[in-house]
Amino acid sequence: MSRTTTSPTATPLLLSRRGARVPAPAVALAIMLVVVLGAAGCSRENDDARDATSASASTPASTPASTPASPPASSAPGSEGSDATTPASPSGGPASRTFDERDYTYLLEVVCYCPPVGPVRVTVADGEVRDAVLTTGEPGAGAPGDQAPAHTRLSIQDILAEANDPAAADVRVDWPAAATHPDRVSIDRRAGVFDDEVTYRISDVRVSAG
């Protein structure tokens, strides 16, 4: 009779670096534990990174403080009260100022839709125009000393009376504060009409003595 002898299954062994034999299942278990712990650490790091990103995104951006607007600059001292250019009013005319001299001469230049004649020397006596002569030889106007055309035979009072006409569409008077007479009077007689504007330039006013 034959006898069969069954021996228990042998467990594989691994050799450590020092020569000790270590069962193979124990090595596999250790490797799995290392892998699981490493994965848990990575997952925790990823969660921490996501939490930090979410906190950063949810924090509202700071808004820069608004700068208050600067107050408007005040006008320069002495600028108010000047009447160098005074528009005419319907009732008061270009200004309440008047030119009261009755005996004088002055240079008048009329700028209008008319032939230019240059400055005209106007002589006023007792409030009336006595003479008006050319002072330059404008082409086609005549020689110096010749009589000036009728539209230039005006006293300063005549010009101010025209500026005070309430029917005028627009009036501008240049009258320096320290002067006794205006330097320039511009009149638009009718609104919407392009050829009725006139400008009177006044200079070299000489009041007669006595």
The predicted-structure confidence for 58-98, as pLDDT tens digits, reads as follows 544 444 455 544 444 433 333 333 345 555 444 344 555 89
Q: What is the band of 139 on the pLDDT scale with cuts at 50, 70, 90?
A: confident
What pLDDT is stored for residue 33 in this prediction? 60
Two tokens, residue 102:
């009755």
The domains of the chain are located at 18-54, 85-207
Determine the Cα–Cα distance for residues 41 and 26; give it in Å rounded to an integer. 23
Chain centroid offset of residue 167 CA = 36
Q: Kindly report the average pLDDT of the chain as a whole number.
A: 73
What pLDDT is stored for residue 97 in this prediction? 80
User: Does the pLDDT at position 178 exceed 70?
Assistant: yes
Find the mean pLDDT for residues 37-47: 52
What pLDDT is stored for residue 194 in this prediction? 79
Give me the sign of the Cα torsion angle 88, 93, 98, 100.
positive
User: Does the pLDDT at position 131 exceed 70?
Assistant: yes
